[in-house]
Amino acid sequence: MADTVAFSGGSASAGPRPLTQHRPRLDLEATRDPEAPLRGVRAAVLNFREPQQSVAGGAEEYAWQVSRYLIAQGASVHFVTSREPGQARAERWDGVELRRMGNRYLVYLLVPLWLLLRRRRFDVVIDSMNGIPFFSPLVVRRRTAVICLVHHVHDRQFHAFFPAWLARIGCFVEGPVARLLYRRRTTVTVSESSREDLRARLRWLAPIEVVPNGSPAARPVAPHPLPGDPSLVYLGRLVGHKRVGRVVGLAAELGESRPGLHVHVVGRGPESGALAARAAELGVADRVHLHGFLTEQEKNAVLGSALLNVTASEFEGWGLTVIEAAAFGVPTVAYDVAGLRDSVRDGVTGWLVRDGEALAGAVDRALCELADPVRRAEIQRACRAWADEFTWGRTGAAMAEVIRAELAQSGYSDASRQTPLLCVDPGLARNETGTSLSAR
């Protein structure tokens, strides 16, 4: 398959949420094909984490939404992932069979072994490479279709968070090892700039398809005035590589010129305590609001009432929260890095930090433009129109098309189908709606 964009148009979690209460939004009844084009197809989705885990993010949202879409199209899906303390080893949610094993390190040994022992049971494997792949081409049958899913290149992230020797190993596995192992396997990534990074920085050899993220539809929210004029919001996980401390620091950096500015942080994670300490250290604790976990309605009320969304991450494959904010007419300031330069349309739905410009400078520039009511209304309309282009139904349909093409190439046919691993209960897929992961 040639390098093509699967469809025109356009991550993130702030912690776990029980699927029994807040399932990822996808109207399975609406997407169900009466002819079930993937009926009998047996898929394994291999992912580092799953949506109920404490630091689940955009990659988990993507993989779960795709899994649910495949179920709606008649496939059987096993979602194989790591296991956090207290979690069951096996569960079934939304018709998807969850299999958990190993911690954040052992998962990369146990999942390939699990797949090896069941190598004849699957027709297609979606191998999510979160820096480190699951090496599935080494353990499945030759005719099993393998799709490598890469959200973004991790090389700089390895060096930012690991000792030099371990970072070099990570880069070697992500680069030369994975490049050769997956060279004949179609790769899916979520943005055009991530595809460019794969080619330029990893010298990726395999054909690459772009299947962007979807986004939950914006739901009407009641007016909820936020403290601050202006009010900035950060939405997502509170983890180191999101650089949320830089967003908190805006209250101090812009305090002299904009004394009414308040920063609202929605989400939870291991950095929560450090962020509170940082705000106190800067003397802005009264203008930094750490909301922590919010219900979907509360989260939407805060997000929809903010003037500007700010993300300081330099490692993103796309940026689910950018589109989530845009759905409420809220533009984003972000760094000009792979993924974010795709989800933020510079000067249209937000602003990218220019070369040599500080984050505070870009935010101040954005606030100056938003001070003009006419310009602000123009940006809000553009944001909503941009967000409307992205749905999880489109994402699932595009991935299903990639799977169908791969199965056809591998010689898969009706005659080769065996009994599926599980019988999907149609009742599990009816009228299921819920929320995104963004404020969990």
Domain of residue 336: give its range: 231-387
The first and second tokens of residue 50, run together, are 């799953």
Same structural domain, 164 and 238: no
Residue 223 lies in a domain: no
Res. 437 pLDDT band, cuts 50 70 90 = very low
Beta strands 96-100 and 124-128: pairing type?
unpaired
Same structural domain, 22 and 34: yes
Residue 332 lies in a domain: yes
Beta carbons of 63 and 43 less than 8 angstroms apart: no
Res. 218 pLDDT band, cuts 50 70 90 = low
The first and second tokens of residue 394, run together, are 């489109």
From the list 70, 63, 81, the residue with the least C-alpha distance to 43 is 70
Same structural domain, 238 and 166: no
Residues 152-165 have a mean pLDDT of: 78
pLDDT value for 326: 95
Q: What is the mean pLDDT of the chain?
A: 85
From the list 374, 388, 392, the residue with the least C-alpha distance to 437 is 392
Same structural domain, 262 and 382: yes
Using the Cα atoms of residue 30, residue 35, residue 39 and residue 44 in order, give the sign of their dihedral. Answer: negative
Question: 88 φ, ψ to 5°?
Answer: -70, 150
Same structural domain, 380 and 396: no
Q: Which residues pair with 346 in a beta bridge?
A: 350
pLDDT value for 424: 34
Looking at the predicted structure, is the pLDDT value of residue 439 above 90? no
pLDDT value for 318: 86
pLDDT in tens, 243-282: 999 999 999 999 999 999 999 999 888 899 999 999 999 9
Res. 4 pLDDT band, cuts 50 70 90 = very low
Total of domains in the chain: 2
* % of the chain exceeding 90 in pLDDT: 66
User: Which has the higher per-residue pLDDT, 217 or 193?
Assistant: 193
Same structural domain, 55 and 69: yes
Q: What CATH number did the domain enclosing 127 receive?
A: 3.40.50.2000
pLDDT value for 154: 81
Same structural domain, 189 and 236: no
Least confident of 23-32, 245-254, 277-286, 310-319: 23-32
**Distance spanning both ends of the chain, measured CA to CA:** 37
Q: What is the C-alpha to C-alpha distance for residues 240 and 236, in angstroms, rounded to an integer?
A: 12
Same structural domain, 235 and 95: no
Beta carbons of 309 and 299 less than 8 angstroms apart: no
Same structural domain, 153 and 240: no
Looking at the predicted structure, is the pLDDT value of residue 20 above 80? no
Same structural domain, 244 and 366: yes
Which run of H or E residues covers position 126?
strand 124-128
* CB atoms closer than 10 angstroms to residue 371: 11
pLDDT value for 36: 80
Beta carbons of 295 and 264 less than 8 angstroms apart: no
Same structural domain, 19 and 156: yes
pTM, rounded to two decimals: 0.79
Same structural domain, 71 and 185: yes
